[in-house]
C-alpha cells in the first residue's frame, strides 16, 4: 500500500519561478503595506487599490512557469499518495501536475463575493482573459467581486481539511516556509509521532519542535531533487 505523503509549501516553493515572496527583503510587503492590500479593513478602505494589486499578481502568473521543485513534488505521486497543502495563492503546483492541492490562503485565479467570500455559489475561476477585475464587476449575490484570498484577520476555512491529512501522514515535507504564519505553521504538531519529517529551505528555520527533522539546506528545486533520491524505494 502506498504511503501518505503531505507537502506543506510556502513562498520559497515558488520563488525560483519568479513569484515575489512577501516576507523577504525586497518582497511585496516592502512595496505594499500589508494593512492596505491584505486585510478586510484595507479592502473596505480602498477596494480599487486592493483589486488592482491582485490583478497585477494574477497577470504575473501568465509570465511564470512551475520550477523543478513543483515538478518534483508532482512526480512523487508515482510512489506516494501525495497531498499538497500550500500557503501560496499561485497555481504552479497544479500546472506542474499535482492532482490534490489544498490552498490554505485562497487562489489568485478565483474571485468571490465581497459579502460572503466562502460561499461556493459565488466563487468563480477566472480564465486568463478575465484576469483584469474591475470595480462594478459583480458576484452572483450582487456584491463586488473580490479576490478569493484569505486575508490577515480572516478565518482559514481549509485548515481543518489540512489537519485531517497531516494526522494521517507517513511522511511530511515542509518546503520554503518560515513556519511563522499561523495556523499553517502549527500543522507540524498534528503529524503522528512515527511520521518522518523533511524540511527543505536554504535558510535556517525554527520548527518549534524537539522531534527529529531531516533538514535539506537547499532551494526548492535542488531540495526536492535530493528528497526524491532519499525517498527512493
> Which of the residues are catalytic?
105
Nearest residue to 57 (alpha-carbon basis) of 107, 23, 97: 107
- Separation CA 153–CA 92 (nearest Å): 26
In degrees and rounded to multiples of 5, residue 110 shows phi and psi of -120, 150
Phi, psi of 149 (to 5 degrees): -130, 140
* Half-sphere exposure (Cβ direction) of 220: Cα atoms closer than 13 Å: 27
Residue 206's CB is within 10 A of a number of other CB atoms, namely 9
Amino acid at each position: 500500500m502506498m504511503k501518505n505523503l503531505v507537502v506543506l509549501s510556502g513562498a520559497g516553493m515558488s520563488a525560483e519561478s519568479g513569484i515575489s515572496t512577501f516576507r523577504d527583503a525586497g518582497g511585496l510587503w516592502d512595496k505594499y503595506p500589508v494593512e492596505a492590500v491584505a486585510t478586510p479593513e484595507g479592502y473596505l478602505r480602498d477596494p480599487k487599490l486592493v483589486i488592482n494589486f491582485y490583478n497585477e499578481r494574477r497577470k504575473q502568473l501568465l509570465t511564470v512557469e512551475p520550477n523543478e521543485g513543483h515538478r518534483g513534488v508532482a512526480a512523487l505521486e508515482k510512489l506516494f499518495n501525495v497531498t499538497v497543502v500550500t500557503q501560496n495563492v499561485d497555481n504552479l503546483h497544479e500546472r506542474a501536475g499535482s492532482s490534490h492541492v489544498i490552498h490554505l490562503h485562497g487562489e489568485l485565479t478565483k474571485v468571490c463575493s465581497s459579502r460572503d467570500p466562502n460561499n461556493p455559489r459565488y466563487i468563480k475561476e477566472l480564465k486568463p482573459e478575465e484576469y483584469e477585475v474591475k470595480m462594478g464587476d459583480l458576484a452572483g449575490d450582487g456584491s463586488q467581486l473580490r479576490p478569493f484570498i484569505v486575508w490577515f484577520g480572516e478565518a482559514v476555512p481549509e485548515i481543518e481539511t489540512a489537519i485531517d491529512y497531516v494526522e494521517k501522514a507517513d511522511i511530511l515535507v515542509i518546503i520554503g516556509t518560515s513556519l511563522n504564519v499561523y495556523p499553517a505553521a502549527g500543522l507540524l504538531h498534528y503529524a503522528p509521532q512515527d511520521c518522518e519529517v523533511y524540511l527543505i529551505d536554504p535558510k535556517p528555520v525554527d520548527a518549534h519542535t524537539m522531534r527529529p527533522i531531516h533538514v535539506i539546506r537547499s532551494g526548492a528545486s535542488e531540495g526536492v531533487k535530493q528528497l526524491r533520491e532519499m525517498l527512493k524505494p
